[in-house]
Amino acid sequence: MEQVEAYDRALREFDDRVHHVGVGQWNADTPCEDWSVRDLVNHLTSEHTWAPWLLRGSTLAEVGDRYDGDLLGDHPVRAWERAAAGSREAFHAPGAFEGTVHVTGGRTAASEYGWQIITDLTVHAWDLARGIGDDDTLDESLAELVYERIAPHVDAWQGAGIFAPPVEVPADARAQDRLVALLGRRP
């Protein structure tokens, strides 16, 4: 699977769940400690609002704090849709996965940044589904690909506060269960 196809599938996974959030579910808990459904969607909305800037070469200082705080306002689904549309356009631009981008830890390869976005979309689609009681089944080939891409890096991420410690699952667990468990969730 090409990286842009993985991005599209991951975006679709998260987007589908956002469109399933019921009116009274925005304050529901998610598997992400201390994050409600609204907090989770706001996190991804912020991330995807940043993406076009970063892929165009902007630095964190140039973007500044304009996307801090609540980006969802009174219309969370519409806010997400705008962010997702801009992100999708940016990731589909010629050469989007080439070069480098500025991130919190410094400069990183645009392709690595792309995998970070794909991972966040995929895992948070599962989190969001759990938070709203929706079907949490992920695209199996996407889950397998993301698992294979991030498994070598998990040890290095421990202690950085990005993910909780991995949870054990049977060796024959399906890809999505291995993926979410690797990132500290209980399937």
143-166 pLDDT, tens digit each:
999 999 988 887 776 655 667 788
Over the stretch 74-121, which tens digit does the pLDDT of each residue have? Answer: 999 999 999 999 999 999 999 999 999 998 888 999 999 999 999 999
Structure tokens, 185: 């969730």
Q: Is residue 40 a contact partner of residue 132, using CB atoms and an 8 Å limit?
A: no
What share of the chain has pLDDT > 90, as a percent? Answer: 80
Please give the angle made by the CA atoms of 4, 136 and 43, to the nearest 5 degrees.
60
Neighbours of 61 (CB within 10 A): 7
For residue 36, the 8-state DSSP code is B
11 pLDDT tier (thresholds 50, 70, 90): very high
Give the residues across from 106 on adjacent strands: 103
Distances (CA, A) of 6 to 101, 107, 121, 170: 19, 22, 10, 26
- Specify the CATH number of the domain 3-182: 1.20.120.450
Q: How far apart are CA 150 and CA 177, in angstroms?
A: 14
pTM recorded for the entire structure = 0.94
54 pLDDT tier (thresholds 50, 70, 90): very high
